[in-house]
Amino acid sequence: MRPAELNRLTVQESADRYVELVRAKTSTGALSPATAEVYARDVATFVRLAGEEVVLDDLTGEDLDAVLLAFARKPDGRRAEPDGRLQSASSQARFRRSVSAFFKHAALAGWVQVDPMTSSTVTARERGGLAAQRRALTREQAQGLVGAARLLGAPGGQAAEPSTGPGGRRVRRDQRTELRDALIVLLLTAVGPRVSELVRANVEDFYTNDGVRYWRIFGKGGRTRDVPLPDDVARTLEGYLAHGRPATQEKALLLSWRGRRLARGDVQAVIDRVQRWVEDDRRRSVTPHGLRHTTATHLLADAVDMDAVRRVLGHSDLATLGRYRDELPGELEVAMRSHPLLRPPGRGGAGSSPAAAPPSPAAGPPEGPVSVAEQDRRPL
């Protein structure tokens, strides 16, 4: 059982106690010395990445996501002469298992109230390494990311300010990518394209009809779909085409500052870069496909017609769309608070107006189109 009182140890203190316990298990034969040293090494790495003086119980799932992804990007130090190679997929998976075992013990020992690994979104894959889980952002997280993109893409915003690269080096104006990065994030979050559709997009795929900007998306199986862009996204697109896109004969929409079409792998780095402008309490690692889930989840949660969402995402049937609808925290509570059958009269509830009453059988079938739901209710 968990102790009644929480012991607020620092990361370093808890790690020292845990490693001492792990090494003690070698004397009983419960662990081999080699395995114990692997645990000890991984925990020592965790301490360096998380911070020695941080209280262990203050770490959240988002903090652990940052630690796990930082380890994945860390050069492999086992080689005598570093060659630039990062941690292998198996090393990343092993590190996650070591951290998970450490926090399981911490929860039992009373060093943390709740195991933060249960809310970590970074999963381990033996072949693909550690990666942010393909899960929708909450409304607050998505709005934080959109707000950061708007800040970068706004006239006179961060895109107009002096920019610095690694080591404080000033980035030349012709190497600036803020407008492009803002456009990428807004397109992914608002329209939800596949990352392959995004990097394949050409300037000529965007057109205007009756004052509305459209994106003709070339999707799977040679299918195309024309999706209208929200006003904010359309304005950012215009700003990027006018001031952010390099002058070149290349037809691709999204270009590197050298004028080359972006690759699929470049998009994750763009999202991570924009995430730096998001407030800490609203930031969460997410993949491009996770933003596709975010688009579907929030459109459906806001009662947008399912078939319209299907057409935006380019799915061939509604069954596929169901896999993109992720569960949002608190949505069941909101649904029950606004239950349509329990609303008081006059607020759109049952019995709020005579028009809500069903027609009498003598009246015959209603004129005009009939919804699928009403057709299902009619007797055969």
pLDDT at 30: 79
Per-residue model confidence as pLDDT tens digits over 245-302: 988 889 999 998 888 899 888 899 999 999 999 998 899 888 888 899 899 888 888 8
Bigger pLDDT: 352 vs 147: 147
Q: What's the whole-number mean pLDDT along residues 58-71?
A: 85
Average the pLDDT over each of 15-24, 142-151, 225-234, 299-308 and give the range with the smallest value.
Answer: 299-308
**Which listed residue (260, 289, 325, 343) is catalytic?**
289
Q: What's the whole-number mean pLDDT along residues 335-340?
A: 70
3-state DSSP assignment of residue 73: coil
- Whether the predicted pLDDT of 77 surpasses 90: no
Helix (H), strand (E) at residue 48: helix 33-50
Q: Strand pairing of 212-218 and 206-209?
A: antiparallel
The packing angle between helices 89-109 and 11-24, to 10°, is 100
- Whether the predicted pLDDT of 368 surpasses 80: no
pLDDT band of residue 100 (cuts 50, 70, 90) is very high
Comparing C-alpha atoms, which of 253, 84, 243, 129 is closest to residue 178?
243
Q: What's the whole-number mean pLDDT along residues 69-79?
A: 72
Q: What's the whole-number mean pLDDT along residues 57-74?
A: 85
- 292 in catalytic set: yes
- 207 in catalytic set: no
The packing angle between helices 178-190 and 231-239, to 10°, is 160
The packing angle between helices 231-239 and 139-153, to 10°, is 30
**Which listed residue (225, 245, 282, 315) is catalytic?**
315
Comparing C-alpha atoms, which of 92, 81, 111 is closest to residue 21?
111
- Whether the predicted pLDDT of 209 surpasses 70: yes
Q: What's the whole-number mean pLDDT along residues 148-157?
A: 80
Contact 17, 101 (CB under 8 A): no
pLDDT at 129: 56
Long-range Cβ pairs for the range 228-231 (8 Å, 24+): 229/190, 229/191, 230/190
Q: Rounded to a whole number, what is the distance in angstroms from the first to the last CA of the chain?
A: 60
pLDDT at 253: 95
Take residue 237 and report the two structure tokens written for it.
């697109």
Take residue 249 and report the two structure tokens written for it.
């004969």
**Which listed residue (292, 293, 298, 310) is catalytic?**
292
pLDDT band of residue 46 (cuts 50, 70, 90) is very high
How many residues in total does the chain contain? 380
Q: What's the whole-number mean pLDDT along residues 319-334?
A: 65
User: Who's near 70: CB < 8 A, 6+ residues apart?
Assistant: 49
Average pLDDT for the chain: 79
Comparing C-alpha atoms, which of 231, 225, 228, 372 is closest to residue 311?
225
Take residue 113 and report the two structure tokens written for it.
């109230």
- Rounded to whole angstroms, the Cα distance separating 160 from 140 reads 27
**Residues of 7-30 as b/e, b for ≥16 C-beta within 10 angstroms?**
eebbbbbbbebbbeebeeeeeeee
Q: What's the whole-number mean pLDDT along residues 216-224?
A: 88
Domains of the chain: 11-132 (1.10.150.130), 139-322 (1.10.443.10)
pLDDT at 172: 45
pLDDT at 75: 76
**Which listed residue (135, 139, 176, 194) is catalytic?**
194
- 220 in catalytic set: yes
Strand order in the sheet with 224-228: 206-209, 212-218, 224-228
DSSP 331: H
- Whether the predicted pLDDT of 349 surpasses 50: no
- Rounded to whole angstroms, the Cα distance separating 371 from 348 reads 19
Contact 325, 297 (CB under 8 A): yes
pLDDT band of residue 26 (cuts 50, 70, 90) is confident
- Whether the predicted pLDDT of 80 surpasses 60: no
Helix (H), strand (E) at residue 318: helix 318-322
**Which listed residue (220, 243, 251, 264) is catalytic?**
220
- 74 in catalytic set: no
- 324 in catalytic set: yes
User: Who's near 99: CB < 8 A, 6+ residues apart?
Assistant: 42, 43, 46, 64, 67, 68, 117
